[in-house]
Structures are given as structure tokens and as C-alpha cells.
Amino acid sequence: MEKSQVKWLYISIGFSLLVLIIILFLTINENTVQYLQKINPFFLLLAFLTHILSMCFWALRVQKMSGSLGYRIGFFYSLNLVFANLLLAAITPSQAGGEPVRIHELYRAKVPLGDATAIVIVERVLDGIVLAFLAAFAMIVLADQWKSLGAISNVMVFITWIFVIGCLLLFYIAIKRPDAVKKVVHHIARFFTSTWEIARVEVFVTRADKEIDNFNEAVITFMKSAKGGLLWGLLFSLLYWISEIIIASLILLGLGQPPLILESFVIQLVLTILMMLPLTPGSSGIAEVGAISLYALFIPASIIGIFVVIWRIILFYFNIALGILSSIIIVHREVKSKK
């Protein structure tokens, strides 16, 4: 990792730890010990395994979507790609910042840069569609649970719809008006390469044009002849988000609490949307405060701090550990390939 990335990793972890310590200080009392005596390790282990399963769904999504474009990528390579993505997501604002890593790893697997970019962008579009669908489902079917959360839930759903519509609009422009996209890229490139030699800038712009064409062709392929990749992508996106959402209910069962399946489904949707906003590195602090604010409506104060700590260990700190392990594997691979 670069020094700047290490700095942001420390900031992300430090901020999260500070918030968690404050939460524990404010919530732990004499009743906490009684609740801890009811812990069921089986469900806590199942929560960890469910998170790993969700990573497998993500890896299968990448593998199937790449395969639909004619590129064969091994499952474990795809899984390592997903793990590597987790580390960068933990140090960038929001938890949706690992796209460059996935694109790079697909490129290293001999997927052209434009096609790799198309796969990753379509992944995000599918995530937005699935989250919007789940939010709409929750608003219609789980109306009582939404009302129990107050006005913030409606705000989060509207933000989701704006996010999805914005992604689809950009996606549409990139497909229908590639020349307009090229003009924007040219202006941005010349702004950031003002100190470069003219020949070097021209080479960069030419390559950018080529990759935009590759991206356009790949997306058109998805829409026309690789619809199977989109269907697989939708299926595994749905499985990924459902498995991530139910982790909270498994943690509650592990702490001897009711699973709050319906309420937790709604809360996790709200938190997922909130954590996608570029507010802090890895959503540190935002996730912890959001979780304790919403779950406080249903969980005893004596145990809610423990719940939030375990939830973040699984979905944040465990991700960082997986990302570091994956980065070591990638560095070892790069060194070996150079030799």
C-alpha cells in the first residue's frame, strides 16, 4: 500500500475505534454481564460464515459476468479480487471505493481495460437496481416497520432512488453518446496533464478513446448477446445483499436476542444506503452511530453496544483483514511474475 493509503487506513480504523469505545462506554452497565451469559457462539460463527458466503456470491457475479463476455476467470482468482477490493473500500469515503482494484485485477486476468470497466460499472448498476427493488419491496410490504423508524427511512429511500436514476442516466449517456463522453474525458485529461508533453498527452487521449470504445462495445454486448451475464449478475447481486442483510439478525440470535428479521431488514437497508454516501473513509463513525440510533428502538441499551461492535467486526474489520491478506497474495504474484 502507498503511504497515503496507509494513512487513510489508520484514520478509518482510528475513527471507528473511537466511536465504538464511546458507544461501549455509554451502553455497558451491570445488566450487560447477564446478557453476555446468553451468548450463543454458533450463531456468531454463522454470521461470519454468512459474510464469507456473500463474498462468494460477489465472486461468482464477477466470474459469470466476465464469462458472458468470453473471458474465463477462476473462482478463487475472482474471490481474491473481491477481497482486495475490500481494503480500498475501507479507506475511501463510503464503502463503494474498491472499483479501481477490481478493474486492475480483471485487467491482469487478460480482460481488456474497457471490458473490465464495463463489468465493474454494470456491477454497480445492478447493485443500485437490487437495492432500489429491496427498498421498494420493504416500503410496500413492511410499511409498519418503516413507520417505526421515523422520517429518516423515507429520506434514505429517496436518496437511493436518486442514486439509481443517476447511475442509469450516466449509463445511458455512455452508451448512446460515446462521443460526448470522449469530449468530457479529453477536457479532463488536458486539465490534469497540462504539464505533460503534447505527444504524451495525445497518446493518453488516444488510449482513453480506445478504452471508451471497448467499454461501449462491452456494454452493448451485455445488452444484446450476453444477457445471460446480466441475469447471473442480478441473481448474485440479490443473493449478496440478502445474505449481508441477514447477518445482523444472526448476531442478535447469537446475543440471545430476538432476530428482528423484518425490522432488521429495513434497518440494514437504511444503513446500506447511508454507508454508500461519501462522508467518511469506509463510513467509519457513520455506520456505528447509524446502527446504534436505529437498533436502539428495539434492542436493550445494555447489549446494543456489544451488538454494534460485533457487527462492525464482521463487516468492517474482518474485511480489512481479508483485504490485507489478498494484497499480500497479489504482491507475491507480481514479484513472482517479474522474476
For 268-316, how does the pLDDT look when each residue is reduced to its tens digit (9 = 90+)? Answer: 888 887 777 666 666 777 888 888 888 888 888 889 999 999 999 999 8
This prediction has a pTM of 0.82
Q: State the Cα–Cα distance between residues 254 and 251, nearest whole angstrom.
A: 5
**In the predicted structure, residue 94 carries a pLDDT above the cut 60:** no
Q: Of 49, 29, 64, nearest to 231 (Cα)?
A: 64
**Out of 209-213, 235-239, 249-253, least confident range:** 209-213
Q: What is the DSSP string of 161-180?
A: HHHHHHHHHHHHHHHH-HHH
List pLDDT tens digits, range 171-201: 677 777 778 777 777 777 777 666 667 777 7
Question: Percentage of the chain surpassing pLDDT 90?
Answer: 23
Summarize the confidence of residues 27-32 as an average pLDDT.
Answer: 84
Q: Where are the domains of the chain?
A: 3-176+226-338
SS (H, E, C) 41-89: HHHHHHHHHHHHHHHHHHHHHHHHHHHHCCCCCCHHHHHHHHHHHHHHH
Residue 315 DSSP symbol: I
CA distance 97 to 164: 17
Q: What is the pLDDT of residues 33-74, one digit of tens each?
A: 888 888 899 999 999 999 999 999 999 999 999 998 889 999
Amino acid at position 327, single letter: S
pLDDT digits (tens, 9 = 90+) for 113-131: 878 888 888 888 788 788 8
- Region of poorest pLDDT, from 25-39, 187-201, 250-264: 187-201
Identify the pLDDT of residue 2. 61
Find out whether 306 and 247 touch, Cβ atoms under 8 Å. no
Of the pLDDT bands very low, low, confident and very high (cuts 50, 70, 90), residue 250 is: very high
The neighbour count for residue 149, using CB atoms within 10 Å, is 18
Residues in the chain: 339
